Structure 1
């Protein structure tokens, strides 16, 4: 199995190298306005898709050649390259290059979703004024839409500020977990709860959701405009955080970090983490520690890397795993070790080793 998996990995690297080579060649061919026409015919692309492909290849070759190099080295897929670069589209090329170059340093082993989130956060921290301006612009476009998806089913969709959307989902999820299953999946229950709330079913209308926002004390005091961050990773402007903090019922928790933005240690000695330790571990990791997983830590199980009582109930032995990965660990006897800074090393049953490090709570953009 180990040899087969190694071959699968090599096939993937070959695909990535080929993608990089094709993009470089397309950029070389893009010498006039007719190049997209000929490239589109050669690759069986529509005129719109051909024009987009040529523009993308040209932008990579001229503005982000280091991204093409990373693709050629097998570090990035084309989707990963988009995840790095797309969040910088409305910023200057100079800032975009700095953000992409810095994020590229830790791109190996990360999913496109993780790279996109990291690139978004870095560019927003680097230019908080533009972040606030773009948020205000997008806020003006918020809407609710409904569209048919066939088979007498429709989808209801709404665009909201990120903190409102997550508060809405948290409330729906909280109510759904308290509902009787009655043969329904959790997703089906969430859909039923949402319909009940919108249609004013009275039993749960008064519940208030809880969202967690981490914010530098300097921004909270108005000294600077460093953004706050939801526990699901999205950044929100400092002004919005200050407004949220002024609401009645806001609870403050003091989180001490080292200069790099990592949480410091807390050490109890019981099997089940108490509330403070539970919050600490979830705040430090923010997501399941399995490689490539972005499941929020707030709804993960806390797993003892070394089973209790052989291992203590401390931050150095506790890590969030979503339920599927928790079951995977025990079913396959995968081994997890934790360093003091939260870096998690996983060794699989096939002998492959992967390491993940928690992202700092307030990482400088560069």
Structure 2
């Protein structure tokens, strides 16, 4: 595709191109190194920034359209079959497939899927505005969130009114405008949506990059939330007037912490007044900090611990000739061979994927994974059994020591994008017990959601070596999960 001459050869490269439409041609105009920006005027730099945002909106619209199309295909396939309540639905399966493909959490993926279905369905005009670069993704989310669960005629009128000025408004201004319109058109729906949200009230906790944590009461009734906030604020003002020099926000946080830990309000106020600079008391002392894991986060330990205490690893090269089938090289490889095995498996699957068409990909990848699993089976069992006469443990339920070993090997659920701590997960037999065994080479932590996902016939989970697992998605993508530490 050629670039207009006035764009590349004129001194004012971006002059009068404020609404150059997004798409492949604009992508070419935006390409090039940072040195090209040095020759632009301030006004042109702002136009480049605005053009880049329009291009981003176009790309995000394409992303959402692709997600919506995938969801439609999967749900249609399920509608033609007989859904099983014991496994995840097709829509939930797509959520996890997108989460793995985009390396995002399941919650973020569910939000994207909900947005994608709305912008290609009842809010198609908003989706078109996003694709044309007239609004960005944040504004599209505002329209989607504030029209959710409203009657269809109301949604159409609200969307049309919102898009009239959306391109010239901030998200806050757009949100206020939509709320006024909805309150006028559908007050009953607004009240019902609020009641439904209050029924789902909860407490949430999450960690921050700074090493601190946030604690929040979510979806409270407005009168309750404001009453709690006003009471804490009034007490914090009183503490400040009595000589506490900390900021009002700090006093509010400290007072709320004392109250939630069980101190009555008079005692909490007295404690804060007696210790006006007690910030250090709110930070964990070294003795309270749990010891760090043996391996840093994200590090893969490369040895496999055998029942007899020896270390063993599989043979490393599976790209040439047959896979390892036991022998000393399968039990006593050198340091790092488990990581090498994961890399070589990935190379093998990449080679398979490069030789077949997209339609053949899912079946070919599954066959390749089965072949790899069978090729490593004898070496895996020999290395895992060590000097024990019998491979595995009797019974279905693993002993406590084995559970702890598996939880130490994988700190979280073994689905690629899941962060559920392993001690809250099911200890799943990768190959179902009988014919599978209760052993370190056949156990892995799976949260209940991803345990149900694994039961779907279009997903595949294989443990080719203790702690080294391969997920295969319905589309034929594969994800290799390595142990966090041994």
TM-score between both structures, scaled by the size of structure 1: 0.44
- Comparing both structures, which one devotes a greater share of its residues to helix? 2
* Structure with larger Rg: 2
TM-score between both structures, scaled by the size of structure 2: 0.34
